[in-house]
Copies of this chain bind each other. A is one copy, B any other.
Amino acid sequence: MDFFEATINTKNIFSGKILKLRVDEVKLPNGKVSTREIVEHPGAVAIVPIDDDENVIMIKQYRKPVEEVLLEIPAGKLEKNEDIKTCAQRELLEETGFKAEKLLHIIDFYTTPGFSNEKMSLFLGQNLKKAQGKADEDEFIKIEKIPLSKALKMVHNGEIKDAKTIVGLFITYMYLKGEF
């Protein structure tokens, strides 16, 4: 079975602070030619910070693309040459003021492989300690501590609607049950 799409031509459209956009002309397995609009992303991490009472430290922030305030787990983009674990601790500290003494890398996943190469590494953060956080002054964030069981209900009723957060909460649920 050969699914491969060979690149015939690449056209770079945009190179921004965070995203790049290109259009690839590709040869399909049946010989036809098509185009693929591709968003290049530097990659990211997300952390589920969970305390000893199974509360998740979550953040509320305004998301311009959807024009809504969303409740999410802490996350952020990889800086150049930054390793994922360093990035996870940095984002956790910047966004919540906590450090995780136990930081477990659980899975990697693609957020939107149909149009972007963004890869996200998911961590579980435990043994949380309040740290001298140097909060980023241009991040407008409200921290909320929510029991995991309640957060799962908020996925169900539509109050939590960010994909990486939903993935993180379910994986934490399975992990704590010993099924993951």
Contacts and interface: CB of A to CB of B under 8 A. Distances in A.
B114 A63 contact: yes
Contacts of A37: 16-19
Nearest to A64: B36
How many chain copies?
2
A163 to B, nearest CB: 5
- Best-surrounded residue of A5, A23, A63, A174 (most CB of chain B within 10 A): A63
A113 B70 CA distance: 9
A39 B36 CA distance: 15
Given A65-B114, A113-B162, 9 more contacts: A5-B62, A5-B64, A107-B155, A107-B156, A109-B162, A111-B163, A116-B116, A166-B167, A170-B170
